[in-house]
Amino acid sequence: MKIFIVGGSSGIGLSLAKRYASLGNEVAICGTNEEKLKEIKKNDSSIKIYKVDVRNKDELKSAIDDFSQGNLDLVINSAGIYTNNRTIKLSDKEAFAMIDINLTGVLNTFEAVRDMMFKNNRGHIAIISSIAGLLDYPKASVYARTKMTIMGVGETYRAFFRDYNINITTIVPGYIATDKLKSLSKEDITKKSTVLSEEESTNIIIKAIEEKKKKIIYPLSMKILIFIITKLPKKLLTYIMIKQANWGKK
């Protein structure tokens, strides 16, 4: 298969790229961090590298077209940034960056491959959201709101694409032990509930894509927990989430 991973220079995106490449697929990734991209290119020549800002639709489309040459089996968008505005006040720059990368980046991914997949009458698009996006309460973070919104975007495009044999899978993970999570948790992720390794998460995502799942929420324990707490009154849910955010600061 030909596979392009948007935001594949670190975390789960890079883990997926390495796994797919090891299975004999043609894989390309894009990102903006030149140092990371150079390091990947140095260590793994089987992965094609593009320096692309996901907020630039034309730039993204150009990279995908160059790699695919009109034939792409799967595109995965794993690009995203996180700042917790439940406990700190975001600057306008930080808020807009999260909206642009987390939300506009997903829209740009769909649009970058749309015409090609329509023409070929086939394809698969996977977007990575977050379990945080399942929590709807008044003081939810900008991050959670963007992740909630892209789930709706995925549903909208699924209805639009179904007549063209294009599959869409929305990935909704809980905590994954990426370098970013470790950094945000000051290298202590023991306070996070049910943290999966990158390898475990990669296995789940690849299986979901192979099975053409519409949406997968994991791990099961987090899925059950989210189902329970979303039944709580909004005020109580807000109180619990603000307390949870402050625990991580201690």
Cβ-Cβ contacts under 8 Å for 177 (sequence gap 6 or more): 189, 195, 196, 197, 198
pLDDT tens column, 167-214: 999 999 988 886 565 555 554 555 556 788 899 999 999 999 999 999
Average pLDDT over residues 156-168: 94
Q: Strand, coil or helix: what is 192? A: coil
Residue 234, pLDDT above cutoff 50: yes
- C-alpha 245/C-alpha 143 separation (Å) is 13
Phi, psi dihedral angles at 47 (to 5 degrees): -105, 125
Using CB atoms within 10 Å of the CB of residue 63, give its burial: 0 to 12 exposed, 13 to 18 middle, 19+ buried.
Answer: buried
CA atoms within 13 A on the CB side of 173: 24
Predicted pLDDT at 142? 87
Residues 72-121 pLDDT 10s? 999 999 998 876 654 456 778 888 888 999 999 999 999 999 999 999 99
| pLDDT score of 139 | 72
Taken as a whole, the chain contains a residue count of: 250
- What three-state secondary structure class fits 137? coil
Q: Counting beta carbons within 10 angstroms of the beta carbon of residue 207, is it exposed (0 to 12), middle (13 to 18) or buried (19 or more)?
A: exposed
Distance CA 60, CA 54 (A): 6
What was the pLDDT predicted at 249?
Answer: 46
Q: Are 173 and 12 in contact (CB under 8 A)?
A: yes
Average pLDDT, the chain: 87
3-state secondary structure of 5: strand
234: left (phi over 0), alpha (psi -120 to 50) or beta: alpha
**Residue-by-residue DSSP string for 157-177:** HHHHHGGGTEEEEEEEE--B-
For residues 129 and 76, is the Cβ–Cβ distance under 8 A?
Answer: no
User: Looking at per-residue confidence, does 65 or 137 come out higher?
Assistant: 65
What are the structure tokens assigned to 24, written together? 């004999």
* Domains within the chain, CATH numbers bracketed: 2-247 (3.40.50.720)
Contacts of 179 (CB under 8 A, 6+ apart): 10, 11
- Separation CA 101–CA 107 (nearest Å): 10
Higher pLDDT, 48 or 136: 48
Q: Do residues 52 and 63 make contact, with C-beta atoms less than 8 angstroms apart?
A: yes
